[in-house]
């Protein structure tokens, strides 16, 4: 255990270098990370086997600007697919949207058959009356309503069938969709609702992270949509040589590409990765 604690403590420089919100501090977030590693044996064992994934998750906390404070329930370190992932709840996504000024506030709820839910009109909040202590019936859908900075209301509604379609095609359909279905249903409708909100980098980055690194995106449905194959050995050597020639560390490249090893860079991103290395050199020369 002491080794993984020491590893976390050694990430201070990378964390502070990536920081997007000064209210998120290394002193607190490192302790939250150590605490959950101490409490969750499977997470700790996963982190010990794949330390780079833990490093990436810690960097994502900093870059996205989301806290691991368990009292907030905004974000968590979770073991998934043999690596440590940063998972962000629907409450965390709403927090980011409000904290960055994309919206004033929002709420997201599961709707049951016996609830009274009705959209009133464009720019108006919906009616949602719930009899809390009676049988609410079966789940029929979910909605998210956000108040914009202009004072209008934007409401996104998803039926149960639409939510289940997302679940069926998600790469996480055997993971969090099995263990935290309502949480994932809310997160799904928040993701879709956010497409109509003013764009902010941190929220977009959080959703992109969830759909890629955290494994919540859609599975490949056809040959035409398949992700390009990984780079071949010659391309890998070319990337390594470029990093060496231009004084760019492999870790910096992996961080920029959001992968845990150079073998995970697919062929479709090879030219972009090579271009990124050369761009760093130009920026360093101009600084």
In three-state form (DSSP H/G/I as H, E/B as E, the rest C), the secondary structure along the chain is CHHHHHHHHCCHHHHHHHCCCCCCCHHHHHHHHHHHHHHCHHHHHHHHHCHHHHHHHHHHHHHHCCCCCCCCCCEEEEEECCEEEEEECHHHHHHHHHHCCCCCEEEEEEEECCCEEECCCCECCCEEECCCCCCCCCEEEEEEEEECCCCCEEEEEEEHHHHHHHHHHECCCCCHHHHCHHHHHHHHHHHHHHHHCCCCHHHHHHHHHHHCCCCCCECCCCHHHCCCCECCHHHHHHHHHHHHHHCCCHHHHHHHHCCCCHHHCEHHHHHHHHHHHHHHHHHHHHC
**Mean pLDDT along residues 93-106:** 96
pLDDT digits (tens, 9 = 90+) for 167-210: 998 988 888 999 999 999 999 999 999 999 998 999 999 999 99
**Model confidence, pTM:** 0.75
Q: What pLDDT was estimated at residue 223?
A: 37
Predicted pLDDT of residue 237: 85
When pLDDT is cut at 50, 70 and 90, the band that residue 220 belongs to is very low
CA distance 171 to 178: 12
Q: By the 8 A CB rule, do 143 and 158 touch?
A: yes
Specify the range with the lowest mean pLDDT, choosing from 8-22, 79-93, 185-199, 234-248: 234-248
- pLDDT bin (cut points 50, 70, 90) of residue 56 is very high
Distance CA 187, CA 178 (A): 14
Q: What is the model's pLDDT at position 72?
A: 96
Tokens (6 digits) for 20: 């997007």
Confidence grade of residue 122 (pLDDT, cut at 50, 70, 90)? confident
What is the per-residue pLDDT for 267? 62
Q: Which residue has the higher pLDDT, 64 or 286?
A: 64
Q: Is a pLDDT exceeding 70 seen at residue 229?
A: no
Q: What is the pLDDT of residue 286?
A: 47
Work out the mean pLDDT of the chain and round it to a whole number.
88
Terminal C-alpha separation, the chain: 41
Ramachandran sector of residue 258 (left: φ over 0; alpha: ψ -120 to 50; beta: rest): left
Tens digits of per-residue pLDDT, 230-285? 677 878 888 888 888 888 898 888 877 767 788 777 665 676 777 778 777 544 44
């Amino acid at each position: 255990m002491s080794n993984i604690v020491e590893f976390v403590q050694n990430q201070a420089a990378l964390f502070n270098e990536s920081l997007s919100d000064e209210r998120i501090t290394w002193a607190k977030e490192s302790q939250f990370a150590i605490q959950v590693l101490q409490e969750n044996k499977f997470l700790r064992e996963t982190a010990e086997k794949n330390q780079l994934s833990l490093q990436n998750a810690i960097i994502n906390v900093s870059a996205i600007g989301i806290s691991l404070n368990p009292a907030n329930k905004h974000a968590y370190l979770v073991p998934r697919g043999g690596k440590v992932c940063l998972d962000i709840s629907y409450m965390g996504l709403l927090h980011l949207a409000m904290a960055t000024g994309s919206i004033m506030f929002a709420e997201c709820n599961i709707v049951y058959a016996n609830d009274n839910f009705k959209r009133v009109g464009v720019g108006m909040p919906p009616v949602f009356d719930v009899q809390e202590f009676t049988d609410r019936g079966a789940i029929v859908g979910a909605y998210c309503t956000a108040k914009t900075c202009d004072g209008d209301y934007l409401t996104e509604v998803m039926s149960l069938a639409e939510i289940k379609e997302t679940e069926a095609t998600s790469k996480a359909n055997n993971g969090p969709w099995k263990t935290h279905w309502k949480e994932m249903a809310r997160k799904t409708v928040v993701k879709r609702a956010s497409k109509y909100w003013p764009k902010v980098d941190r929220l977009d980055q959080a959703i992109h992270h969830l759909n890629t690194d955290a494994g919540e995106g859609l599975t490949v449905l056809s040959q035409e949509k398949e992700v390009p194959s990984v780079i071949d050995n010659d391309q890998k050597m070319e990337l390594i040589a470029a990093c060496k020639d231009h004084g760019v560390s492999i870790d910096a490249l992996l961080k920029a590409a959001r992968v845990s090893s150079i073998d995970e860079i697919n062929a479709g991103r090879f030219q972009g990765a090579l271009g990124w290395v050369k761009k760093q050199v130009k920026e360093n020369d101009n600084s």
